[in-house]
Structure 1
Amino acid sequence: MEVTITRLRKIPPLTQYQDEIDALNAACFEDIFGFLGPHCVDERMQIRLFLPGAESVIVTTTDTDYVAQRINNSDLFIADIPNHNDQNDYQLKVCYPLTTIVIEDPYRFNSLLDEDFCFLFNQGKQSQAYRHLGGHFDEVDGIHGARFSLWAPNAKSVSLISDDNHWNPSRHIMRKHPASGIWDIFIPELTSGVRYKYHIVAMTGERIEKADPYANFMQNPPDTASILHHCMPHRMPKSWQDKRNTRNAVDAPISIYEVHLGSWKRQGDDGKAFLSYQQLAEQLVPYVSDLGFTHVQFMPISEFPFNGSWGYQPVGMFAPTSRFGTPEDFAYLVAQFQQAGIGVLIDWVPGHFPSDPHGLARFDGTHLFEHADKRQGFHPDWNTLIYNYGREEVRSYLHSSANVWFQQYGVDGLRVDAVASMLYLDYSRDEGEWIANEHGGRENLDAISLIQQINQDCYRDNPGIMMVAEESTAWPGVTGFVDGGGLGFGFKWNMGWMNDSLQYMHRDPLYRNHYHGEMTFSMVYAFSENYILPLSHDEVVHGKGSLLNKMPGDDWQKFANLRAYYGFMWGHPGKKLLFMGGEFGQWKEWDHDHSLDWHLLQYEPHQGLQNLIRDLNYTYVSQPALYQYDNSPLGFDWIDEGNAEQSIFSFIRYNKERTCGVLILANMTPATYQCYRIGVPSAGRYHQLINTDNARYGGSGVGLTDYVETETEQCHGQAQSIMTDIPPLATMMFAFKVRP
């Protein structure tokens, strides 16, 4: 068929469009689809186009080309053509001063927003909002492109600005859905890698540029744009998927290596360049595997603008930081850990967010994500903002953020940061600086219900995961079931044990006998929650010194103290967590801007400490008595908790069947005790598993033996006993069979 160019009746200057032209030029148009695109007028079709910088426009239908007329010497063009069956079936040939392009008109496409999604989102019950909001590749009527959706209910107008439209907010003004407060648009022919933001006009006239809250990829800071990216879902190795239910359970051995990806190891001539996710997969995975850790935990990897926040002030709650690579690269790192049989946890931060201009603060010109009242919406400790946990759409946002790390990236668990700051309305506030709840109390009821909802739904939808709380108070039932009034976490960091035991170890051994209870008090509450014993990054920064430097004495005693402490920790009920650098005795406290001091491993004391951590982990995994009953008093018995005079601690750990046990004996003084007698619950042979004074670990070699035999001599209330030499500043472990 021969195609002709038709010039229809000339449209006279239409002064009635001047208000619309002004609004388009100002990028402030609330009902943009009510004006631009195809519209029936007097039984004809008018196609209205706003194309800044264009010299001429031709509308191409299936059989004819129509010249669009420029209106009022503006960038508004109108083609007035006969109506036909499919008024949306056309393309645009746009002539610019230096080029001519053929494009699709984004204003001819209907909305792709799902009404059921909008309902659940506005109800606070949407756990997969990231599939609908944000930028996503899609196809409409055979046309490939990307759809963008944004919740900004109080905005006067919203535009997508990007590389594609030269960051011109007049080019792609979005459609508003008043009922849901969501704006959307479909942009044809966009490709991966396009940088974009949202240009928001507030009701006050203020103009704001924001990154996409739901973006899965963002620019490397200090740049702040979102990046359109097609992210393939993570494929969990089947070997890991089949075992995840048991590997992350409360009766499983869980020993976690906490890592800050930006400072574990660096590269380059100046030692400042980050390792990529791919390089971390090549180096970190085998390292963690060799040391015998069962899990790794990354400090926050949600995109964040300021390195000094360590990730705890995120702006991209759905985007792995681009500092180390793409989202697929991060998913690859997760998969490589799981392929090696190592679970992956990440820090997740729903307690606060920064006030960076491109982030969530005053998102649409109003306090949308945060409380307007500073007594509820501002964190005095961190100079950050607090989410409005009572706003339904914010609940959907946070719920979806938690879920995306399981669904899209396949992680095994979330360690939820600063839970206490969420639970208490008066957290770190003086009288008059907080607002009581509806009952007059200090509990944040909205935050509590949100935490419960997220925990319940994440466990239901992602079997075998771990939800871990960093909760620093005595809030009851943190790991209790929601149905019984608990918060629904699987595990809780034992901050009390950490504070007490580190305080004890910091003391001169000469005076430790006066503070014996600092090491025994934890057993009063050890089974009230499912605990993880953390020696985290928080204990080796801000002038606190490294773990090694917290220990008293000369260099030999520092290493011996730390070895004894690790042995005691691995014997104590509770899962284990150790921050990177602690495994080989970093002298300096952690610095997020520098690599760990790997050169220290050329020295025997540091090698010895690393050998101990490796052996503790392998011993721990091989002895069910050391982990099966972490949450039950049935698996623990003191032998002698009262020997303060000699600062010796002795206790038994049992497996679930109580057929096997491990005796832990710790001496926290530099004294050596020969032929020390200790009562034991069962006759037989006690095999030495660990002696932290072993020369292999840098010790003096006292008390080394393959096994000791029991004697029928009463001691510590037991009918049987063993006799052994107890080395200075050391912990020993002995395995035994329980005889009927």
Structure 2
Amino acid sequence: MTEVVTPEGQAIIGGYHADPFRYLGPHTDHGVPIVRVYLPGARQVRVRFSEGQEADLRRLHDAGLFAGPVPSSGRDYRLLARWGQGEFVELEDPYRFPPVFSDLDLHLMGEGTHLNIYDKLGAHPMVMEGVAGVAFGVFAPNARRVSVVGDFNFWDGRRHPMRVRGNGFWEIFLPGAKAGEKYKFEIVGPHSSAPMLKSDPYAFSAEVRPLTASVIVDPATLPPITPGPGGINRLDAPISIYEVHLGSWRRNPYMNNSWLTYRELAEQLPAYVADMGFTHVELLPIAEHPFDASWGYQPTGLYAPTSRFGSAHDFALLVDAFHQRGIGVILDWVPGHFPDDAHGLAQFDGTALYEHANAMQGRHLDWNTLIYNFGRREVANFIVANALFWLERYKIDGLRVDAVASMLYLDYSRPEGGWIPNKYGGRENLEAIDLLRRFNTEVFGRFPNATTMAEESTAWPLVSRPADVGGLGFGYKWNMGWMHDTLRYMSKDPIYRQHHHGDVTFGMLYAFFENFVLPLSHDEVVHGKGSIFGRMPGDRWQRFANLRAYYTFMFGHPGKKLLFMGGEFAMEREWSHDHSLDWHLLEQKEHAGIQSLMRDLNRLYRSVPALHQIDSEPGGFEWVVVDDAAASVFAWLRRGRDPEQVCLVAVNFTPTPRESYRMRVPFSGGWREIFNSDADLYGGSNMGNGGRIEAVNTEHGPMLDLVLPPLAGIILVPER
């Protein structure tokens, strides 16, 4: 047989062959079995079959292209190659192995319904035909050539070009590659011969920034994770969420103020959250991201826990530690946009693949980030599968979806004429709506104990109602209106609060339209807003009293609770992602008092069914005092499913004590004061009702004559 360098061979050498398996590896030429090999720089190559037969291959080109007849048509052989004057090195030929993707995989990936696609695309250690290696896959339909490069092939894109199958899915099995090695995809786009180095969109780990390579992870080596407690996300469950930025909750002062690792956090954070009585922790985005100051909200590795704090294995240990303490784990999840870093998804295959090509649809003006093309089925598959990945792989209990409003509206934060209407001429992003409904349907269908939460700041209807009745399908919606209104009210000097009474009462007009979470989140302690404590007016005593009263009001109000870290002990300065929380403040009685108050509020909230059981129904709430603007007093009843489960919440938002303040209650007899934010334990003046008060029958029904302490809230339950 005479072998020459054909156009296909030239394409291999030139690095633009889209299907190298068609040329390289074992083939038959006019009935003669042959093997072709491309090993850049090699001087000599020999083929050795398992039966012991060998054959030398002829060098067709000095670049390292070899071919020749072999004694067997089988694929069970190894290569012996020599570079320079060195010894022969035995190695596997990747081009002798069968395809990685099955026909079913290609069908599901092509129609965008492969919800376990993260088990196919990306890097997956496996054994193929008895040989250990790693299967790589990537979606790049417009690329002319894709190679995998990494520690295993000298980062040489000539060595391992991949084959394209189906609708642009590239694959290769690389024998000898192993977990822990770094890699990227080298991609030649349709309009340039210059290769781009791209991180793997489906990578399970990545290098610590500013390095950007993906890292091979073997999921089989991840430790088992205890499932989260059952029922913790139910509408009738107490949900009190501690929102945490892992990089600044606490730092190591003995290691140059460095981050705590996932393992160190696992030893400290779950214990603290449990001691404080929170039911859940919500982690600011932990998907890999290049820019610390984005706090994770500009992710480049949606499937990779950030390596800032350790490995994927270590992150699994952290989740398990929370679950061991009975704490649910919610991840802040960002499907609405991504940064345009060169190593990431932007222009991934030389075209606008993941993003919209038109900047009026594809770029956020506020954040200068790119917007996913939600209508492209492969992109939607990437996003929905990612949500399921965190729930399946790491047993996450819920996802809080960031910036939902920016997804729903085509004109979000855009000038007139700077956006493209939908096919009906409207401003609604129909493709994003479909994606969110599909996401929620898949999450609740596959993980019925999990939940989802929407950060949605507009009046979009039915956010937390099922998709099959026209809703978006979320489990809960953040109540941004309640947060803005009540913080505005609390920032007023008490003498002026009587003129802003509606800021407190307005929220009850729509409190049961959605399943709400009341958020005092990280967004309220950044960008010059100061801290929550910093919003409180008055002298120092009054500021702490205001905060105690506000937290009592929050825990008595319908809706699940969320508090950003540091708020539980009255951080005085604005949060900074570069610094630890000011734990030294707890040496001061006032700050320790706020922490004790939050701990007791959490435990009370969890133990009193009336405070949480009917959060999302009108039957769980009844105003008692709603019109006393002059005194800035509010009082209401909270009810549980059992008619006997009732509690009274009363708040005095002025520094004037209200003695013998009369209000109606449903039961006569004794009422126990089970909480008083003015208690000396919390730093208050210790005014109150002596722990118990009698409701007297009158012609208007049972009445209480209460002492309402200054700038304080109290909670009472009937003695039944």
Shift in Å, 1:724 = 2.2
Correspondence 1:59-208 to 2 at 5 A: 59-61=47-49, 62-82=51-71, 84=72, 86-97=73-84, 98-177=86-165, 179-205=166-192, 206-208=194-196
Provide the rounded CA distance (Å) in 2 between the counterparts of 1:483 and 1:72: 63
Q: Secondary structure at the match of 2:488?
A: helix
SS in 2 for 1:712: strand
Instruction: Note the C-alpha offset of 1:71.
Output: 1.4
CA distance in 1, matches of 2:526, 2:507: 24
- Does 2:356 align with 1:371? yes
**Distance across 2 between alignment mates of 1:594 and 1:157:** 45
Between 695-704 and 284-293, the greater mean CA deviation after superposition? 695-704
Cα distance in 2 for residues equivalent to 1:643 and 1:79? 95
Count how many residue pairs are aligned between Structure 1 and Structure 2: 716
For structure 2, which runs of at least 5 residues remain unmatched after alignment?
none
- Confirm or deny: 8 A CA contact 1:628 1:656 kept in the other structure: yes
Q: Secondary structure at the match of 2:321?
A: helix
Residue in structure 2 matched with residue 5 of structure 1 by the alignment: none
What SS is found at the alignment partner of 2:698? coil
Does the 8 A contact of 1:235 with 1:410 survive in 2? no
* Distance in 1 between residues matched to 2:246 and 2:68, nearest whole Å: 56
Cα pair 2:225 2:316 within 8 Å, conserved: no
C-alpha separation in 2, matches of 1:74 and 1:281: 52
Structure 1 residue matching 2:318: 3-state secondary structure: helix
Give 1:672's aligned residue.
657
Q: Which amino acid aligns with 2:581?
A: L
Counterpart of 1:210 (choices 187, 195, 198) is 198
Residue 441 (structure 2) pairs with residue 456 (structure 1): yes
2:499 is the counterpart of 1:510: no
- Residue 74 of structure 1 and its aligned partner are, at CA, apart by 2.8
- The Cα of 1:737 is off from its aligned counterpart by 5.1
Q: What TM-score comes out, normalization by structure 2 length?
A: 0.98
Structure 1 vs Structure 2 CA RMSD: 1.4
Letter of the 1:64 counterpart: Q
2:575 corresponds to:
590
Aligned equivalents of 2:423, 2:129: Cα separation in 1: 52
Q: Deviations over 1:374-423 (max 9, x none)?
A: 11101001100000010000010001110000000000000000001101
Contact in 2 for aligned 1:318/1:401 (Cα 8 Å): yes
Report matched runs for 1:546-625 at 5 Å. Answer: 546-625=531-610
Give, in whole Å, the separation in 1 of the partners of 2:254 and 2:144: 51
- Of residues 484, 490, 506, the one that matches 1:499 is 484
SS of 2:302 mapped into structure 1 = strand
For 2:588 and 2:479, how far apart are their aligned partners in 1?
Answer: 33
More moved, 503-512 vs 29-38: 29-38
TM-score (norm. length: structure 1):
0.95
Whole-Å Cα distance in 2 between the matches of residues 91 and 675 of structure 1? 93
Number of the residue aligned with 2:625? 640
Match of 2:308 in 1: 323
Using the alignment, how far apart are the partners of 1:551 and 1:115 within structure 2? 63
Amino acid corresponding to residue 19 of structure 2 in structure 1: D
Partner of 2:705: 723
CA offsets, 1:453-485, max 9 Å, x none? 110111111121011100000100001111100
For 1:418, the equivalent position in structure 2 comes to: 403
Instruction: Identify the residue that residue 3 of structure 1 maps to in structure 2.
Output: none
Q: 1:165 to 1:681 in 2, by over 3 A?
A: same
* 2:43 aligns with one of 55, 68, 82: 55
d(CA) in 1 for partners of 2:651, 2:83: 81
Question: Paired residue for 1:479?
Answer: 464
1:726 Cα shift?
1.3
Are 2:369 and 1:384 aligned? yes
The answer (yes or no) to whether the contact 2:521–2:564 under 8 Å persists in 1 is: yes
CA distance in 2, matches of 1:690, 1:647: 20
Answer whether contact 2:9 2:23 (CA < 8 A) is retained: no
Determine if the alignment matches structure 1 residue 294 to structure 2 residue 282.
no
1:709 counterpart SS class: strand
Contact 2:47 2:70 in 1 (8 A): no
Match of 2:25? 37
| Structure 1 gaps, min length 5 | 1-8
Q: Which amino acid aligns with 2:704?
A: I
d(CA) in 2 for partners of 1:120, 1:351: 24
Whole-Å separation in 2 of the counterparts to 1:423 and 1:117? 31
Q: Deviations over 1:587-641 (max 9, x none)?
A: 1110001110111111100100000000000000000000011000101110010
The alignment partner of 1:521 has SS state of: helix
Residue 224 of structure 1 aligns to a residue whose secondary structure is coil
| Residue 270 of structure 1: how far off its partner (Å) | 5.7
The equivalent position to 1:696 in structure 2, one of 660, 667, 681, is 681
Counterpart amino acid of 1:677? R
Distance in structure 2 (CA, Å) of the matches to 1:307 and 1:574: 32
- 1:358 alignment partner in structure 2: 343
Preserved CA contact (<8 Å) 2:361 2:371: yes
Q: Distance in 1 between matches of 2:466 and 2:476?
A: 12
Distance 2:119 2:631 in 1: 61
Q: Name the counterpart of 2:249.
A: 264
How far the C-alpha of 1:236 sits from its partner, in A, is 4.0
Contact 2:110 2:167 in 1 (8 A): yes
Deviations 1:544-596 (A, max 9, x none): 00011111111111111001000000000000000000000111110001110
Q: Percent identity?
A: 48
Q: Following TM superposition, by how much is the alpha carbon of 1:96 offset from its aligned partner in structure 2, in angstroms?
A: 2.3
- The 3-state SS of whatever aligns with 1:71 is strand
Deviation at 1:327, TM superposition (A): 1.1
Deviations 1:145-173 (A, max 9, x none): 11001110000010001111101000000
1:235 Cα deviation from its structure 2 partner: 3.4
Q: Distance in 1 between matches of 2:698 and 2:711?
A: 27
Alpha-carbon shift at residue 247 of structure 1 (Å): 1.4
Instruction: Give a deviation string over 1:655-681, Cα, whole Å, max 9, x none.
Output: 112212110010011111222222211
Q: Contact 1:27/1:159 (CA < 8 Å) preserved in 2?
A: no
Alignment deviations for residues 207-257 of structure 1 (CA, whole Å, 9 cap, x no partner): 21100000111111111000011023663426x4xx42x211011000000
SS where residue 710 of structure 1 aligns?
A: strand
Quick one: distance in 2 between partners of 1:72 and 1:640? Answer: 91
Whether the 8 Å contact between 1:60 and 1:92 is mirrored in structure 2 is yes
User: In 2, Cα distance between the equivalents of 1:222 and 1:704?
Assistant: 59
Distance, in Å, in 2 between the alignment partners of 1:284 and 1:579 is 14
CA contact (8 A) 2:672 2:719 kept: no
Q: Report SS of the residue matched to 1:513.
A: helix
1:99 CA drift (Å): 5.0
Which residue is 1:4 aligned to? none
| Pairing of 1:243-282 with structure 2 (within 5 A) | 243-244=229-230, 246-269=231-254, 271-282=256-267
Structure 2 counterpart of 1:94, which letter? A
1:93 shift after superposition: 1.2
CA distance in 1, matches of 2:468, 2:29: 60
- Conserved 8 A contact 1:234-1:409: no
Q: Give the residue type in structure 1 aligned to 2:579.
A: H
Q: Secondary structure at the match of 2:544?
A: helix
Matches within 5 A, 1:410-449: 410-449=395-434
Secondary structure of the equivalent of 2:696?
Answer: coil
